[in-house]
C-alpha cells in the first residue's frame, strides 16, 4: 500500500504539481483538507521560506498524525532587495488575490528598465514524519518579470514570470516542462533523491 503523505496546502495548482511528481514514486499525496476538513491554518511567522515550510509541516503533521510535506515559496525581485519574498502570497495585503499581487509587483518594478526586472522563484520543502524524521530541499528558478500576461497554465505570478531559456512565461509551459525547470520541480527532485 502506498505511503500517504499529507500536503500542507489547499492551493490546487501546488497540489497538482506535487501529485504529478510524488504519485509515480508510489506515494499517495492528499491535501490536508482531505484528512481534516476544517483546520485552522498556522500563522506563518518565519522570516525565511525554510522556516515557514518547517512550521507548516510540523503543525499539520501533529494535527493529522501522518507524514506531512509543506512548501513555502515565492518570488524575489533583485531590484526590490528580494521582495516580496516570504510575503509573495499576501504582497498586496492580507486578503488579496493573485491579480492584486501581480499588479502590485508590476507597479513596484515599473520604475526599472526591463533588464533590471530580474526575479527568482524560490521553494523550500520540508517533509516530516511523526517519528521526527525530516527531509528538506530547496530549488530556485530565474526569470524576468514582464508587465503583461501570457499563458493559461500557471497560477500566482506565472503569467508574468518570463523564462528567457524557454522563450515563454511559466504559464505558457506544459506541466512536464514546468516540473523540469521550476523552483518547486527542482526542490521536489532533490526531495525525491533524498527519499530513494
Distance of CA 21 to the CA centre of its chain: 14
d(CA 103, CA 161): 13
d(CA 118, CA 17): 24
Q: Residue range 72-80: average pLDDT?
A: 96
Q: Is 16 annotated as a binding residue?
A: no
The active-site residue, picked from 71, 72, 78, 165, is: 72
**Per CATH, domain 3-195 is 3.90.950.10:** yes
Q: Residue range 108-128: average pLDDT?
A: 96
Sequence spans of domains, the chain? 3-195
pLDDT value at 196 more than 80 = no
pLDDT value at 1 more than 70 = no
CA triple 93-75-82, angle to 5 deg = 90
**pLDDT value at position 109?**
97
- Host H or E run for residue 70: strand 68-77
Ramachandran assignment for 169, one of left (phi > 0), alpha (psi -120 to 50 degrees), beta (any other): beta
Neighbours of 17 (CB within 10 A): 22
Q: Is 78 annotated as a binding residue?
A: no
**pLDDT value at position 178?**
87
Q: 142-182: per-residue pLDDT in tens?
A: 999 999 999 998 889 999 999 999 999 999 999 889 888 99
What is the length of the chain?
196
Q: Output 108 or 20, whichever has higher pLDDT.
A: 108
Q: Is 71 annotated as a binding residue?
A: no
Amino acid at each position: 500500500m502506498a505511503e500517504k503523505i499529507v500536503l500542507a496546502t489547499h492551493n490546487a495548482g501546488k497540489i497538482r504539481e506535487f501529485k504529478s511528481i510524488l504519485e509515480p514514486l508510489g506515494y499517495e499525496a492528499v491535501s490536508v483538507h482531505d484528512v481534516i476538513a476544517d483546520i485552522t491554518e498556522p500563522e506563518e511567522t518565519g522570516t525565511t521560506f525554510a522556516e515557514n515550510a518547517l512550521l507548516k509541516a510540523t503543525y499539520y503533521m501533529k494535527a493529522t498524525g501522518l507524514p506531512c510535506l509543506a512548501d513555502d515559496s515565492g518570488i524575489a525581485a533583485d531590484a526590490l532587495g528580494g521582495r516580496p519574498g516570504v510575503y509573495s502570497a499576501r504582497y498586496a495585503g492580507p486578503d488579496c488575490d493573485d491579480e492584486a499581487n501581480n499588479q502590485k509587483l508590476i507597479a513596484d518594478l515599473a520604475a526599472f528598465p526591463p533588464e533590471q526586472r530580474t526575479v527568482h522563484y524560490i521553494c523550500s520543502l520540508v517533509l516530516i514524519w511523526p517519528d521526527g524524521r525530516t527531509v528538506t530541499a530547496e530549488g530556485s528558478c530565474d526569470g524576468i518579470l514582464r508587465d503583461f500576461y501570457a499563458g493559461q497554465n500557471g497560477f500566482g505570478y506565472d503569467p508574468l514570470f518570463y523564462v528567457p531559456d524557454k522563450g515563454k512565461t511559466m504559464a505558457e509551459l506544459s506541466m512536464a516542462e514546468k516540473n523540469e525547470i521550476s523552483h518547486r520541480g527542482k526542490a521536489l527532485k532533490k526531495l525525491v533523491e533524498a527519499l530513494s
